[in-house]
Structure 1
Amino acid sequence: MFGVKNKTRAVVGTGYGTDPRRIDSLKRQINDDTDPSTTFRSVRTVSHPNGRVLMFEIPSAPKGIPIAWKGHWYGRAGENTEPLALDKIDAIRAQSHLMDWTAQIVEDAELSDLSPEAIAVARRGFAEHNASRIPTETIESWTGEEFLRHAGLVTKRGITRACILLLGKPEASYLLSPLMAELTWKLVGQEHAYEHFGIPFILSTTRLYSRIRNIKIRLLPRAS
């Protein structure tokens, strides 16, 4: 919250973020530098008699997954921010020890949220992996839902998070909120570049892999 003093909670107003582009840039920076990627759920401006207040809605942290900032974990120590102790990191990770996050059911998810192209790729991979025990003709005869049940991506209770991650249409990523369902490719060195890849991961991993390259560096001996 900007425009409010920390200790007294008095409204003093702020001029930050009057340009929407500044807010968009901040949201992208948060998304790029957090791991797993996340950002503000919303940014709201409140008019107060004492000045303008800017409110950032921060999504709750996913259970069992500590959020890193630029590769490091931090925690609050009173009013200060300090590196997160190892025992606290272990405690956070232990939250999901007995729960498979990917196996949880996604409420409101429907089969129409899945990409037909991604399902076709998954079906071919499933057929190749199980060629020794299930005839390809049998696998091809299954309906889309039957295949997803055999693959363990859909249960009687509904569609799993793993199913949305692997096979979901790009526009279905909101079903996994507050997590950002993205893979990021970064190029670091003499050149700098990055690209984000969303769901379905079964397709985007192939696109990401195509961006990976090994740069040859020639090291010449120093002149004597």
Structure 2
Amino acid sequence: MTDHPSRIAALDEWIRGKEGENLEFKSARSNFHFEELTKYCVALANEGGGKIILGVTDERPRQIVGSKAFLQPERTRKGLCERIPLGIDFEEIDHPDCAANSRVLVFSVPSRPVGVAIQHDGHRWVRKEDSLVEMSDDRLRRIYAETGHDFSADVCADATPDDLDDLAIENFRDRWIAKANKAEDQELVARIQAMSGTQLLEDIEAVVNGRVTYAALILFGTNRALTRHLAAAEIVFEYRSNDNSGPAQDRKEFRQAFFTCYDNLWNVINLRNDKQDFQEGLFVVPISTFNERPVREAILNAVSHRDYQLGGSIFIRQYPRRLEIDSPGGFPVGITLENILDRQNPRNRRVAEILTRCGLVERSGQGMNLIYEDLIKQSKPAPEFSRTDQYQVGLTLHGTVQDPAFVRFVEKVSKETTAFFHTHDWMLMSEASRGEKLPKESEPRIKRLIDLGIIERGKGRKFMLSRKYYEFVGKAADYTRRKGLDHDHNLALLKKHLDESGEAGASLDELAQVLPSLPKEEVRNLLRILKYRGIAGTKGRGPGSRWIALEGDGNES
């Protein structure tokens, strides 16, 4: 069985291309070591992204030899994504020119985020000729310089270590130890426990040569020190029961070390966090309006990315069914609404690195991805940035559960399949559940979700959840009704075009443009149905044949 011509053409182009920064070929006839694959993926990411192609020789002229490596590529990709903080994808291509094993396995690796060097087991790999080597210090410095000046790493001239809160330092120590224990790194646990507070701050570069950085003030500073040196490092919480102007029903101001208020922020939000009940068989299952994980991630994002050189505080406004978080400063350089899920660029790198040390922030910087995924899995609207401009990022988290049945279906999909789903996959599932149009550029992801039996094509570019979903929620009749209407609608469009084409008729390519969202073979099957019903026929043979309208009444079953 051979693949779609476009995929084969793409493979042929890669084979003819130059092996360089974005292509790596390996014959891998029988196997390929997973650790070696991981290293090459790290190197490709550090070099701007690319593809590692298994089943093709790297010597010119390149030959397709086929590969039996990683016969369960979904599991392999999941393993890669657990080790490398990027949305790695794969595709299997069967080439018609290969007589024996024609399977070519292609792993696509996106570029590293701006200002971030990807590493695995402490090594930042890059390629040098036919070998893998560690990234040089000079190249690493150039990558770090991409994000521009890091204000949080600057030293506050008038601050001293006495301006830092001992409780905040110990809270950080406890979180760092907990992370090390989880990784079963007892040597690191012992080292953290043995350090004095001063040594701990020097080790994480919050204090440099005895001098206090702004990152240290933000994360460990006392109220008095922040008031004197960085009053903008403040988080204001308000609870409002409605959108009316006037004073809030509750207001709290946190001008203190972030490590002393982080948990308190969640506690005040959770105080009025109601439950939404939905029926599951004989039982009523509650879902929190605000889930802890996306709320905490949103707060961490605001602290890590806000511009501390601008006046103004971070504002958290809680309403019964939504949470608004406004932070000074627009998106960091290189970040837009279009790429926010795929690129990261921490404005305050020193702050982000310290939060990463203790496990509050993922090394991958995928906090926004986690927010999107958590909301979608609970059938809540995607985050909004309607109040965002060059001076402020305004994030809204909506808490209303839209379709409880979708929540249960997502749980079922997660348990039954070993497939790894990227944030973009979850967004496509969510949009399909609402019968929305899906973007053409997402076609590879759409095809994969169709192959997994999660979504199906509807009218035009619109999609719907698969028969599995409707059977799961006990609404098989709804599926038949919706799918049947789509089927009849497509047949009617083809018949209308043939009627308008008259005796000249229309080619298959022309008719495929009438239903651009459907594969050509599916359009051909619909035409066969019209032919069986006596509504359409063909004239001529071969590539030049045309479809024409007939005089049938269309009532044959």
Q: TM-score, structure 1 length as denominator?
A: 0.47
The structure showing larger relative contact order (alpha-carbon pairs under 8 Å, at least 6 residues apart) is: 1
The structure having more radius of gyration, on CA atoms, is 2
Q: TM-score, structure 2 length as denominator?
A: 0.22
Higher share of residues assigned helix: 2
